[in-house]
Amino acid sequence: MSLALETIDLCYSYDNKRSALKNVSLQVPLHKSLAILGPNGGGKTTLFRLISTLSQLQEGQAFLAGLDICKKEDEVRRVLGVVFQSPSLDTKLTVEENLIHQGHLYGLSGKSLRNLISEFLEKFHLSERKKDIVQNLSGGLKRRVELIRALLHQPKVLILDEPTTGLDPSARREFWDLVQETQKEKGTSVIYTTHLFEEAERCDQLAILDSGELVAFGSPDELTSEIGGNILSIKSKNFHSLKEKIEKEMKLSCRVVHDSIRIETNNNSEVESIFQKYQNDLESVTLSKPTLEDVYILKTGKNFIAASN
């Protein structure tokens, strides 16, 4: 099987003290997408820096499109397209000038480069903005230009480090639609970091990192199916005391998440009993399918928002 990314027992620490990655092993097939999900400090950025060749490996092995990241660093960079979390366009140049200079870095020039730029600008709905100074563009349009720049040399693997940070929901959706369209048309493998569950749901495979450890790996559907039942979410003014009563009187396992009680259940009679026994304590009750947030809570025992702070 051809792989876009393979890591074997990756470990990384800062100042030989704080461990950022602990024995992370992944396999991602070519032409597929991988989301790396985790809270702040979970290890996402460290993994991004290693596979993008920004940081050198300390322990373990990593291969990108079959190339050893340690031994074939220059070759890796030629098959790799990168969109960083921090903006990296030259804001004093036009859209077109930014793309021309990027093409030159990869040996592209002349008519073929201009034709390639025109093709991408049209596809990304930016043809009429090619002469605009970048600093005058909205955040969403700047991100589109950065995406074109990363794809201009037609990389085998595109990696994105929380690329929608600071974008509004509409611009965020437009950005990911373009990424997925490109993946489908060009067969580009996509690896991205995110702390947003709705972005993680778009991937073919999902790696959840927590405190540097890989706590879950698989497709979003595979991971949510590991939770045996539906999720009953209960809002109550006195949720701590209600949680204790439900655990003691009904022998059910409860978790407090976002000031609500969550119970994993596939038993309708349990839901009905909670309604009947505690109706005076209830503000609202919701029964839903498991989410990726529930997967994170199950795997780590922690509230994702609390872990991010």
Under 8 Å between Cβ of 156 and 124: no
The residue-averaged pLDDT of 56-71 equals: 96
pLDDT at 301: 78
pLDDT at 47: 96
The answer to whether residue 99 scores a pLDDT higher than 60 is yes
Under 8 Å between Cβ of 205 and 217: yes
pLDDT at 153: 95
Q: 145-192 pLDDT, tens per residue?
A: 999 999 999 999 999 999 999 899 999 999 999 999 999 999 999 999
Angle, helix 268-278 to helix 239-250, in steps of 10 degrees: 120
Q: 25-56 pLDDT, tens per residue?
A: 999 999 999 999 999 889 999 999 999 999 99
pLDDT at 17: 75
Q: How confident is the model at residue 257 (pLDDT cuts 50, 70, 90)?
A: confident
Q: How confident is the model at residue 11 (pLDDT cuts 50, 70, 90)?
A: very high
Query: Which sequence spans correspond to the domains of the chain?
Result: 3-223, 228-289
The answer to whether residue 297 scores a pLDDT higher than 90 is no
The CATH fold of domain 228-289: Alpha-Beta Plaits (3.30.70)
Q: How confident is the model at residue 1 (pLDDT cuts 50, 70, 90)?
A: low
Give percent of the chain with pLDDT exceeding 70.
Answer: 98
Output the average pLDDT for the chain: 92
pLDDT at 298: 85
Give percent of the chain with pLDDT exceeding 90.
Answer: 77
Under 8 Å between Cβ of 63 and 30: no
Question: How far apart (Å, rounded) are the C-alpha atoms in residues 257 and 41?
Answer: 20
pLDDT at 198: 94
Under 8 Å between Cβ of 188 and 155: yes
The answer to whether residue 258 scores a pLDDT higher than 60 is yes
Q: 211-247 pLDDT, tens per residue?
A: 999 999 999 999 999 887 789 999 998 888 999 999 9
The answer to whether residue 9 scores a pLDDT higher than 80 is yes
Question: How far apart (Å, rounded) are the C-alpha atoms in residues 198 and 203?
Answer: 10
Q: How confident is the model at residue 139 (pLDDT cuts 50, 70, 90)?
A: very high
The CATH fold of domain 3-223: Rossmann fold (3.40.50)
The residue-averaged pLDDT of 200-212 equals: 95
pLDDT at 307: 53
pLDDT at 75: 95
Q: Record the pTM.
A: 0.88
pLDDT at 2: 87
The answer to whether residue 308 scores a pLDDT higher than 90 is no
pLDDT at 269: 87
